[in-house]
């Protein structure tokens, strides 16, 4: 659709929409789901999206977000519920603390999340790790943010910066950067970014905001759902359940990467099979089935008990899924209205240094429409012609551009980002606290990554 207004009016519409949304949620106390749907509708009308197109735009944004989030959250919640009530989360927490020490519990959670976040998407990783985060937090007390932010920040950093996640892979391909080099450089960049922007930040946030630890997000624990006869799974069994989706998903990502580089033929039956079972939703489905046996039936639970546990896991997350979908609806309206594209085109015409343009354009797109992946891929597409035409850019500098774009796509997560609502609802944070913690942490992560990108650009 051709935007009905220029960049200025479109940005004003977006700013007013966000302000009205926050007012409805924080002051009027309107339910977040209703507020997001209402503001999405009003924004679509204000941006002069043809009235006949409005229902399709609203449902398209809602549906596309649910397609990527609902299955992952539901399957992940089932795994999390089984880990929680079987005593598996407690077993893993005890082992982590024994290895790292009590005072390094948040650091241990962050390191584990970095490892598991290599092939697993942000939302899937967060929901699977949720019971482990809550178990560690309950054991040692203090603000939930001490434990939640290092883990969530680790998944966010890996998702934005490191292949084989879709955003950095697509950006690297569009800019002509080497995927292998992007991965080799991206991993230490993501680790430093996490340590400075998430782990150190969590120490301040935990002191500033004393957040109570929820009893359980995935269903209440009572005497009927405690380990049967005191039988808890072994550490090896718990680790195996957690590693299973990581291994399966790596089948997809490694096969896809090798096919893209021409090392293997991606059209063969075995490559297709590996990619199928490595699809995130399929990998989590397989993991649920394995967890039903390892964390349920094998420990003495009946089929009926296991079915009841899985059913209990779905109820509490329905609101989370709907609110997340409505956040995707709002972001979809902003994308369709042309707000992000108009802003990116304006920034692209200013003639600023390429590395700065990469960061600012990506930031503008991130703020305007919410999706980090869309910001990454769109920015790379806008800059690709300029980059390919400049033969003086080195391989390391191409990677620096990918990191700079990822940095811009990370900052300022707010109400049009589905991740904002996942974090808010999973950890029981109000919208105000989420803005002052999660949004600030994401911005700190992005700025840290951009500083590292500037260093790579200078030495490359």
Cα angle 106, 108, 112 (rounded to 5 degrees) comes to 120
Residues 34, 109 share a domain: no
User: 230: pLDDT confidence band, cut at 50, 70 and 90?
Assistant: low
Question: Which residues, 6 or more positions from 243, have their beta carbon under 8 angstroms from its beta carbon?
Answer: none
| Of 59-63, 184-188, 413-417, 445-449, the least confident | 413-417
- For 48, residues 6+ apart whose C-beta sits below 8 A from its C-beta are 4, 5
Answer yes or no: do 309 and 376 share one domain: no
Same structural domain, 266 and 413: no
Query: Does the structure show a pLDDT above 60 at 89?
Result: yes
pLDDT classification of 377: cutoffs 50, 70, 90? confident
Query: What local confidence, expressed as pLDDT, does residue 197 receive?
Result: 93
Q: Mind listing the pLDDT tens digit for each residue in 150-209?
A: 999 998 998 889 876 767 877 887 788 877 688 788 889 999 999 999 999 999 999 999
**Residue 435 has which token pair?**
């803005």
Asked if pLDDT for residue 223 goes beyond 50, the answer is no
Compute the distance between CA of residue 430 and CA of residue 432 in angstroms, rounded to an integer: 5
Backbone angles phi, psi at 410, to 5 degrees: -100, -35
Q: Are residues 204 and 214 in the same domain?
A: yes
With vertex at residue 96, the alpha carbon angle to CA 90 and CA 100, rounded to the nearest 5 degrees, is 145
Q: Where are the beta strands (DSSP E) in 123-267?
A: none
Mean pLDDT to the nearest integer, 81-88: 78
Domain end, chosen from 291, 317, 343, is at: 317
Peptide bond just before 164 cis, omega within 30 deg: yes
Residue scoring higher pLDDT (215 or 442)? 442
Q: What pLDDT score does 272 carry?
A: 85
Q: What is the pLDDT of residue 388?
A: 64
Average pLDDT over residues 10-22: 81
Determine, yes or no, domain membership for 17: yes
Quote the percentage of the chain above a pLDDT of 90.
19
| Helices 166-175/395-408 angle, 10° precision | 140
| 155 shares a domain with 73 | yes
The answer to whether the CB of 409 falls within 8 A of the CB of 380 is no
CA–CA distance from 290 to each of 7, 325, 375, 384 (Å)? Answer: 52, 29, 36, 44
Same domain, 141 and 131: yes
| pLDDT > 50? residue 222 | no
Q: Which residue range forms the structural domain that includes residue 149? A: 63-166+179-317
| Residue 87 is assigned to a structural domain of this protein | yes
418 is a domain residue: yes
- The total domain count for the chain is 2
Task: Say how many C-beta atoms besides its own lie within 10 A of residue 9's C-beta.
Answer: 16
**More confidently predicted of 106 and 386:** 106
Residue 441: is its pLDDT beyond 50?
yes
pLDDT (0 to 100) of residue 386: 67
Q: Residue 45: which of 260, 336, 313, 255 has the closest Cα?
A: 336
Q: Which residues contact 6 (CB under 8 A, 6 or more apart)?
A: 342
Q: Is the pTM of this model over 0.85?
A: no
Q: Is residue 256 pLDDT above 50, yes or no?
A: yes
In the structure, what pLDDT confidence band is assigned to residue 2 with cuts at 50, 70 and 90?
A: low
Cα–Cα distance measured from residue 215 to residue 149, given in angstroms and rounded to the nearest whole number: 18
Tens digit of each residue's pLDDT (9 = 90 or more) over 296-355 = 888 888 888 888 888 877 776 677 678 767 877 877 787 787 766 666 666 666 667 888
pLDDT at 400: 93
State the CB neighbour count (10 A cutoff) for residue 272.
12
pLDDT at 174: 77
Q: Residue range 80-87: average pLDDT?
A: 78
Question: Which one, of 303, 298, 295, 246, lies nearest residue 84 by Cα?
Answer: 295
> How far apart are alpha carbons 184 and 182 in whole angstroms?
6
User: What is residue 225's predicted lDDT score, i.e. its pLDDT?
Assistant: 44
- Is residue 353 left, alpha or beta, with left meaning phi > 0 and alpha meaning psi from -120 to 50? beta
pLDDT at position 373, please? 72
For the chain, counts of helices (H) and of strands (E) = 22, 0
Q: Six-digit token pair at 191?
A: 């680790």
Highest mean pLDDT among 93-107, 184-198, 325-339, 360-374: 184-198
Q: Are residues 97 and 191 in the same domain?
A: yes
Examine residue 322 and state whether it is found in any structural domain, yes or no: no
Residue 328 lies in a domain: no
- Of 317, 345, 361, at which residue does a domain stop? 317
Q: Clarify whether residues 138 and 270 are in a common domain.
A: yes
- Mean pLDDT estimate for the chain: 81
Helix/strand/coil percentages in the chain, nearest 5: 80, 0, 20
Length of the chain: 460
Whether residue 310 contacts residue 81, with contact meaning beta carbons closer than 8 Å, is answered with yes
Pair (52, 130) in one structural domain:
no
| Same-domain status, 343 and 395 | yes
More confident residue, 6 or 268: 268
Domain-embedded: residue 76: yes
- Domain membership of residue 26 (yes or no) is yes
Do 339 and 410 share a domain, yes or no? yes
Name the token pair of 436: 């002052």
In-domain check, residue 171? no
- Are 266 and 372 part of one and the same domain? no
221 falls in which pLDDT band (50, 70, 90)?
very low
């Amino acid at each position: 659709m051709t935007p009905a207004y220029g960049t200025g009016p479109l940005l004003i519409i977006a700013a007013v929409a966000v302000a009205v949304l926050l007012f409805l949620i924080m002051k009027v106390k309107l339910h977040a789901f209703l507020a997001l749907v209402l503001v999405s509708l009003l924004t679509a009308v204000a941006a002069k999206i043809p009235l006949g197109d409005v229902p399709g735009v609203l449902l398209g944004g809602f549906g596309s977000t649910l397609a990527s989030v609902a299955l992952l959250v539901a399957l992940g919640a089932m795994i999390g519920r089984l880990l929680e009530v079987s005593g598996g989360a407690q077993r893993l927490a005890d082992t982590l603390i024994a290895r790292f020490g009590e005072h390094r519990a948040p650091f241990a959670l962050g390191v584990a999340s970095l490892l598991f976040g290599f092939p697993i998407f942000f939302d899937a990783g967060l929901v699977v790790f949720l019971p482990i985060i809550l178990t560690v937090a309950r054991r040692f007390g203090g603000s939930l943010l001490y434990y939640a932010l290092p883990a969530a920040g680790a998944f966010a950093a890996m998702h934005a910066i490191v292949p084989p996640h879709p955003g950095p892979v697509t950006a690297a391909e569009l800019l002509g950067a080497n995927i292998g080099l992007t991965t080799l450089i991206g991993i230490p960049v993501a680790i430093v970014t996490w340590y400075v922007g998430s782990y150190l930040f969590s120490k301040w946030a935990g002191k500033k905001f004393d957040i109570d630890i929820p009893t359980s997000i995935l269903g209440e624990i009572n005497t009927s759902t405690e380990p049967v006869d005191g039988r808890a799974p072994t550490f090896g069994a718990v680790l195996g359940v957690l590693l299973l989706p990581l291994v399966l998903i790596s089948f997809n990502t490694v096969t896809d990467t090798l096919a893209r580089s021409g090392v293997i033929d991606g059209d063969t039956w075995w490559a297709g099979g590996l990619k199928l079972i490595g699809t995130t939703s399929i990998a989590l489905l397989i993991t649920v089935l394995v967890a039903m046996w390892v964390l349920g039936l094998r420990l003495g639970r009946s089929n009926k008990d296991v079915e009841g546990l899985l059913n209990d896991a779905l109820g509490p997350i329905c609101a989370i899924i709907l609110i997340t979908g409505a956040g995707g609806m709002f972001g979809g309206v902003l994308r369709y209205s042309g707000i992000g594209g108009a802003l990116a085109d304006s920034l692209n015409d200013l003639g600023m240094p390429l590395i700065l343009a990469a960061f600012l354009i990506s930031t503008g797109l991130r703020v305007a429409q919410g999706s980090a992946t869309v910001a990454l891929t769109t920015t790379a597409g806008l800059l690709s012609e300029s980059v390919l035409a400049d033969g003086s850019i080195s391989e390391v500098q191409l990677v620096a551009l990918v990191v700079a774009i990822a940095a811009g796509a990370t900052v300022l997560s707010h109400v049009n980002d589905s991740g904002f609502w996942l974090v808010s609802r999973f950890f029981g944070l109000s919208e105000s606290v989420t803005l002052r913690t999660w949004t600030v942490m994401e911005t700190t992560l992005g700025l840290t990554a951009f500083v590292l990108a500037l260093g790579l650009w200078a030495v490359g």
